């Protein structure tokens, strides 16, 4: 991990999707997909991003690589703001950030040969001549554990796991610094999942990659991540060093997520006290007031429905947004400071140094 500051960071990032209705296509409501998320990803590390479907984790990933336009807030790559860049200005940055998609069946063009799929990014960015590119494609095929002879085959000739390898080879083609992997293993069989995870880890070591690893499976995330961010309904609710999240979750939502993961051991599974969350995730169009998790939280009190809890720093880089933090002793509770990652919409009295605490978050109009 380098100390040079983050490779990529989001600053009070918001992404709302308008819902339009009627003849005039007037905006009647907004989906609060990502709501004020401040997150830093440092060079060489893997940040796992977890949450249930609809929590905004994929939207956050896509906004970071600028496949989506931020509504408000900033995205910085190597210290430069990229939130407002146009198509042309983004072009060179695209080489640095690549994406691996979830569905290996839908993310490869069925009418193109594997060679030209992997060659695509290099062709667009004109990185080399035709011959060199071909050599590079064959090299990439070998790197991801396929054979160079697969160059002329079509995607349908491959299994799910092999296709996902092709997707990874395509992402690696331009030697990017950052790879946003959006549920890269959730469509694969367990035995193939393990192969894929091991491959991604090897590639990270060999090519000094930085990963933002989006997944809903806490087991997979623990395995690959250095730090883990938990999202709920568009908000970052907990951010922690990977191992600590599992031994000492602070936010009740994280606790519930962890206890829902099945353990492949009958005795442990029986002994374990399970917290089964009631109901579904509320609609991100009209999120609940205060703490967004309060309607499903078993510790919720009155304050939870009224005041949004700020992200507090519990030490060791462990942040959480909760009025009733778990696994925290009285001493720590005394000295917790509000983290600079705290959403702006939070109770303002809890933020004495809001303006000085952060770099330069410029609100956009």
Partner 1 sequence: MAEKLLEVDDLHVQFATEDGIVHAVDGVSFELERGKVLGIVGESGSGKSVTAMTLLGLTRGVNAQFEGRIEYKGEDLLTMSEAELRRFRGRELAMIFQDPMTSLNPVYKVGKQIGEAIRTHEDIDSRTTRNRVVQLLRQVGIPHPEERVDDYPHQFSGGMRQRAMIAMALANNPDVLIADEPTTALDVTIQAQIIELIGRLKDEFNSSVILITHDLGVVADVADDIAVMYAGRIVEYGTKRQLFYDPQHPYTWGLLGSIPRLDRPKPDRLASIPGSPPSLINLPQGCKFRPRCPHAFAKCIEHPPLENRVAGTPPHLDRCWLTVEEKRDLRDLTIHGEAAA
- Residue 149 found at the interface with partner 1 (CB under 8 A): no
Q: Which of 1, 263, 333, 337 binds partner 1 (CB under 8 A)?
A: 263
**8 A C-beta contact, residue 327 and residue 248:** yes
Provide, rounded to whole angstroms, the least separation between the CB of residue 338 and partner 1: 28
Q: Near partner 1 by CB under 8 A, which window of 18-26, 210-218, 298-306, 344-352?
A: 210-218
Residues 88-147 binding partner 1 (CB under 8 A) are: none
**8 A C-beta contact, residue 13 and residue 36:** yes
The residue among 280 and 348 lying less far from partner 1, judged by its C-beta, is 280
| DSSP code string of 11-36 | EEEEEEEEEEETTTTEEEEEEEEEEE
> What φ, ψ does residue 303 adopt, rounded to 5°?
-60, -30
- Which of 236, 234, 231 is CA-nearest to residue 257? 231
Q: Near partner 1 by CB under 8 A, which window of 26-34, 129-137, 190-198, 206-214?
A: 190-198
- State the Cα–Cα distance between residues 76 and 82, nearest whole angstrom: 6
Provide, rounded to whole angstroms, the least separation between the CB of residue 191 and partner 1: 4
Q: Which of 94, 113, 134, 216 binds partner 1 (CB under 8 A)?
A: 216
Per-residue binding string, partner 1, 151-180, x by CB under 8 A, is --------xxxx------------------
Residues 325-354 binding partner 1 (CB under 8 A) are: none
CB atoms within 10 A of CB 168: 26
Q: Which of 274, 286, 306, 364 binds partner 1 (CB under 8 A)?
A: 274
Torsion, Cα 80 16 292 295, to 10 degrees, reads: -160
Torsion, Cα 93 177 103 199, to 10 degrees, reads: 160
Residues interacting with partner 1, by CB under 8 A? 52-53, 159-162, 189-195, 197-198, 201, 216-220, 222-223, 243, 246, 256-266, 268-269, 274, 276-277, 279-281
């Amino acid at each position: 991990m380098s100390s040079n500051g983050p490779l990529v960071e989001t600053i009070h990032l918001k992404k709302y999707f308008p819902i339009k209705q009627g003849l005039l296509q007037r905006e009647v409501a907004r989906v609060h997909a990502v709501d004020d998320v401040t997150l830093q990803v440092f060079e060489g590390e893997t940040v796992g991003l977890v949450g249930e479907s609809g929590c905004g984790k994929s939207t956050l990933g896509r906004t970071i690589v600028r496949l989506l336009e931020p509504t408000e807030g900033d995205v910085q790559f190597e210290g430069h703001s990229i939130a407002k860049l146009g198509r042309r200005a983004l072009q060179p940055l695209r080489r640095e950030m690549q994406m691996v998609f979830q569905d290996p069946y839908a993310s490869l063009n069925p009418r193109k040969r594997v060679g030209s799929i992997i060659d695509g990014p290099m062709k667009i960015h004109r990185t080399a001549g035709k011959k060199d590119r071909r050599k590079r494609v064959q090299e990439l095929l070998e790197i991801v554990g396929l054979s160079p002879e697969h160059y002329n085959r079509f995607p349908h000739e491959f299994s799910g796991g092999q296709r996902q390898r092709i997707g990874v080879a395509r992402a690696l083609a331009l030697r990017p610094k950052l790879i946003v992997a959006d549920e890269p293993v959730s469509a694969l069989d367990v035995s193939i999942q393990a192969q894929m995870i091991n491959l991604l880890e090897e590639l990270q070591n060999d090519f000094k990659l930085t990963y933002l690893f989006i997944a809903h499976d806490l087991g997979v995330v623990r395995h690959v991540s250095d730090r883990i961010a938990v999202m709920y309904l568009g908000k970052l609710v907990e951010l922690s060093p990977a191992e600590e999240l599992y031994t000492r979750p602070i936010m009740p939502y994280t606790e519930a997520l962890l206890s829902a993961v099945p353990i492949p051991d009958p005795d442990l599974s029986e002994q374990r006290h399970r917290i089964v969350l009631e109901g579904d995730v509320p609609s991100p169009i009209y999120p609940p007031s205060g703490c967004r998790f309060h309607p499903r939280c078993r510790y919720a009190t009155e304050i939870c429905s009224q005041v949004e809890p700020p992200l507090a720093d519990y030490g060791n880089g462990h942040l959480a947004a909760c009025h009733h933090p778990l696994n925290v002793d009285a001493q720590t509770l005394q000295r917790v400071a509000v983290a600079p990652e705290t959403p702006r919409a939070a109770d303002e009295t809890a933020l004495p140094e809001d303006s000085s605490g952060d770099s330069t978050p410029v609100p956009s109009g």
